């Protein structure tokens, strides 16, 4: 059972992470906003069943499923179509090297991308990622290996082109 205070704390502490997680996959700010709101709506509706200590993984789990549903229903090709701000000090010549990684991430299947993002951005262990996405620890490790391998191969290929 989570209280109003728990819920509001969750909004303050996790919205940014959930938004980033979804936005990295969808690259659509409006859709991401909608899905984040759906996640919190579900959290509020299910507040009596949820352990307050597990709010964050629960939110990621709901977010991942919502993202899959969205991609399936809209059959959208995710596009890199948002403002891609460089760090504040680069005014004169911001060579967007990280655009390469963005493109590579965009090529990954949603599950692999979610694992990679949860690992790199949120710092989750294999076991925790498994709990969020309904996978075993070994499966997470393998999917992560495949994801990183794809990213690595893409960058390598790009480097050779360059």
Which of 61, 106 has the CB closer to another protein? 106
C-beta of residue 49 within 8 angstroms of C-beta of residue 42: no
Among 56, 65, 71, 155, binds another protein (CB under 8 A): 155
For position 127 contacting another protein by CB under 8 A, the verdict is: no
Q: Does 134 bind another protein (CB under 8 A)?
A: no
CB of 72 to another protein, least distance (A): 19
Q: Rounded distance, CA 10 to CA 144, Å? A: 27
Please choose, out of 55-63, 65-73, 154-162, the segment that lies near another protein by the rule CB under 8 A: 154-162
| CA separation for the pair 99, 112 (Å, rounded) | 19
Which of positions 47-76 make contact with another protein (CB under 8 A)?
none
* DSSP character at residue 46: T
Q: Which of residues 28-47 bind another protein (CB under 8 A)?
A: 33, 36-37, 40, 44
Distance CA 4, CA 16 (A): 19
Which contiguous run of DSSP H or E holds residue 138?
helix 137-161
> Contact, 59 vs 147, CB < 8 A?
no
Q: Which residues bind another protein (CB under 8 A)?
A: 4-5, 7-8, 11-12, 15-16, 19-20, 23-24, 33, 36-37, 40, 44, 77, 79-84, 87-101, 103-105, 116-117, 120-121, 139, 142-149, 151-153, 155-156, 158-159, 161-162
């Amino acid at each position: 059972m989570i209280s109003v205070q728990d819920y509001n704390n969750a909004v303050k502490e996790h919205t940014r992470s959930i938004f980033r997680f979804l936005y990295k996959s969808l690259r659509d700010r409006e859709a991401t906003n909608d899905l984040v709101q759906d996640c919190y709506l579900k959290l509020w509706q299910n507040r009596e069943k949820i352990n307050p200590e597990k709010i964050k993984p629960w939110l990621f789990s709901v977010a991942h499923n919502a993202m899959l549903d969205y991609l399936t229903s809209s059959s959208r090709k995710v596009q890199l179509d948002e403002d891609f701000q460089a760090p504040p000090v680069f005014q004169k010549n911001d060579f967007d090297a990280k655009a390469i990684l963005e493109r590579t991430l965009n090529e990954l299947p949603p599950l692999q991308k979610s694992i990679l993002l949860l690992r790199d951005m949120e710092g989750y262990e294999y076991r925790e990622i498994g709990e969020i996405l309904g996978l075993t620890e070994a499966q997470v490790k393998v999917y992560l290996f495949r994801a990183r391998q794809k990213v690595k191969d893409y960058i390598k290929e790009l480097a050779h082109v360059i």
